[in-house]
Amino acid sequence: MWTQNIDPVSNLGLSALVAAIPVLVFLLCLVVFKLKGILAAAIAVVAEVAVAALVFGMPATAIGGSALIGLLTSIWPIAYIIVMAVWLYRLAVASGRFDIIRASISGISTDQRIQVLLISFAFGAFLEGAAGFGVPIAICAALLVQLGFRPVKAAMLSLVANVAAGAYGAIGIPVIVGAQVAGVDVSELSQTMVLLLQPLTFLVPFLLVVILDGWRGLRETWPATLLVSVVFSGVQASVLWFLGPELADLGSGLAAMVALFVFGRVWQPKRIFREGGVEAPPVERHSFREVAVAWSPFYILTAFILVWSVPWFKQLFAAEGPLAAAVIKVPIPGLTGEVATAGGDAVATTWDFTPLNATGTAILLAVIVSFLTTPRLKAADFWGQLGSTLRDLSQALLLIAAILVLANIANYSGGSASIGSALAAVGPLFPLFAPIIGWIGVFLTGSVVNNNTLFGPLQVATAQRIGVQSDLLIAANTAGGTTAKVISPQSIAIAAGAVGLSGRESEILRASIGYSLGMLAFICVWSFALSNLFLG
């Protein structure tokens, strides 16, 4: 059995720097050399293989196994979820229902500053709470383009907006996993998340308006922006504090949408903003029934996702559940039983194939029900939209696969642990850097859940060593991670595919990276302040 060595050059800082080379190569290829995402990822994967083999001493079989589990994970569950969600959206467009959806949004306001608050922020949070895994980014970015937003701006706004919800979707799983890893009570971690992340969450709607139309835009729309911030943040904080993380996004997203709808009846900005000064299209009026039917695919989607997320349904597929046989655990050659952590523990390395209880299956059922309840759609539309979805997302899915191959090689080689351990060596200053570890974890894996699984134990061990509460550092790991979703290659690929910019991921990354780093810096400083003033 091969054992990871997180300090192969006998200098932890230098080992961490070498481990970070593939990530730096990827960023340079995208930001500086402006290469296509898939080419940048391919170069970074080659660099990762070289670092893992030549520096960390990882056997070729283990490298191959790591690449295989990354590839399999990119297909199931990630690609499965993304394709099903975009397929559902495209069927809504093909049915003509989206024209009514667009009209219903314009009926609230034709001002794009209000629309981004309604779609990317409020509706996106609702979708994050229901499904997660990039579904809100894909659907909201596509919706904004249909409403007249420029593709790069639509993608970037949807990525930034997701920061307010990404820590709690879907159904609170990132916080629940973080609590399990840390050995703390879920309610304690939820309350700490309120203290740490809620100030940034409150500011996100203001940031979205400023991004779209500068300070003038904020002056003109501050009543609606303040309303959304107060309602969303207030509901989310209350749910987290008193109930836990499961409904934090669903409740806040729904409350913010209702608040905007009601407020839009009595207030509109004096100047209607549209990108490029384009005149707003005339607002079509539809009956309440027509609007309700048009939005029905998303109600159906939410219903299935909620069923798939409730404990009794999950228990059906647990180890002792009646449907446990439906969870197929596939051992990975070169990894399963053949790789151990630096502490000597064998790493858990099986790929779970879950055809019945996968989130993608819930979305597939929503697709089927939506199709069957839409007489206008024919079988040719049903299969044709699936084919066009696969074609249009092919580059994005290949990029996600390459990134997950890179991430898994980095994780199983010990490279990710090396980076985290080096940052943990700063001692009392560690709360300042703890969110950066979470940022790195989500940048590599694309998932706040995987980030907490990967770096949660490191955060807990460091908290015990420096005398800081474990729940604060797990919260910092989670909060830092959610700011990385803005530029995670997986998120960028999903956004690019949704707005028709596959191959131009570097444009979205350059537009988004400053906001991601700025929000990360805010969380770092606030985490350090809390560790010293309140929770030390």
Q: pLDDT tens-digit profile of 202-235? A: 999 999 999 999 999 999 999 999 999 999 999 9
Decide: residue 449, CB within 10 A, 0-12 exposed, 13-18 middle, 19+ buried. Answer: buried
Q: Is 77 in contact with 133 (CB distance < 8 Å)?
A: yes
Which range (173-187, 291-305, 376-390) has the least confidence? 173-187
Scanning the structure block, which residue is given the tokens 């467009």? 93
Could you tell me if residue 275 is inside a domain?
Answer: yes
> Does the pLDDT at position 307 exceed 50?
yes
Strand partners, 330: 351
Could you tell me if residue 212 is inside a domain?
Answer: yes
Q: Average pLDDT in the 289-298 region?
A: 88
> Does the pLDDT at position 536 exceed 60?
no
Query: What does the pLDDT read at residue 27?
Result: 84
What is the band of 249 on the pLDDT scale with cuts at 50, 70, 90? very high
Query: What does the pLDDT read at residue 147?
Result: 87
What pairing do the DSSP bridges indicate for beta strands 2-3 and 350-353?
Answer: unpaired
Cα–Cα distances in angstroms (integers) from residue 159 to residues 61, 414, 452, 511, in the given order: 37, 29, 20, 11
> Does the pLDDT at position 535 exceed 60?
no
Q: Average pLDDT in the 142-164 region?
A: 93
Query: What does the pLDDT read at residue 534?
Result: 59
Cα–Cα distances in angstroms (integers) from residue 231 to residues 87, 199, 246, 487, in the given order: 32, 14, 18, 27
Could you tell me if residue 2 is inside a domain?
Answer: no
Query: What does the pLDDT read at residue 260?
Result: 94
Could you tell me if residue 8 is inside a domain?
Answer: no
Asked whether the whole model's pTM tops 0.85, one would answer no
In terms of residue numbers, what domain contains 447?
Answer: 15-533
Q: pLDDT: is 105 or 356 the higher one?
A: 356
Length of the chain counted residue by residue: 536
Could you tell me if residue 10 is inside a domain?
Answer: no
Domains held by the chain: number: 1
Query: What does the pLDDT read at residue 453?
Result: 73
Quote the CA–CA distance of 376 and 378 in Å, as a whole number.
7
Kindly state the percentage of the chain with pLDDT values over 70. 98
Q: Average pLDDT in the 393-402 region?
A: 86
> Does the pLDDT at position 444 exceed 60?
yes
User: Over the range 455-473, which residues count as b (16 or more CB within 10 Å of their CB) and which as e?
Assistant: bbbbbbebbeebebbbbbb
Could you tell me if residue 62 is inside a domain?
Answer: yes
Could you tell me if residue 410 is inside a domain?
Answer: yes
Could you tell me if residue 1 is inside a domain?
Answer: no
Q: Is 404 in contact with 126 (CB distance < 8 Å)?
A: no
What is the band of 92 on the pLDDT scale with cuts at 50, 70, 90? confident
Kindly state the percentage of the chain with pLDDT values over 90. 50
Cα–Cα distances in angstroms (integers) from residue 184 to residues 190, 197, 330, 472, in the given order: 10, 18, 31, 11
Q: Average pLDDT in the 392-396 region?
A: 85
> Does the pLDDT at position 170 exceed 70?
no
What is the band of 462 on the pLDDT scale with cuts at 50, 70, 90? confident
- Average pLDDT across the chain, whole number: 89
State pLDDT tens for residues 357-373.
888 898 899 999 999 99
**C-alpha dihedral (73, 352, 304, 97), degrees to nearest 10:** 30
> Does the pLDDT at position 332 exceed 90?
yes
Quickly list DSSP for 397-454: HHHHHHHHHHHHHHHHHTHHHHHHHHHHTTGGGHHHHHHHHHHHHHHHHS-HHHHHHH
Structure-token pair, residue 293 = 């039917």
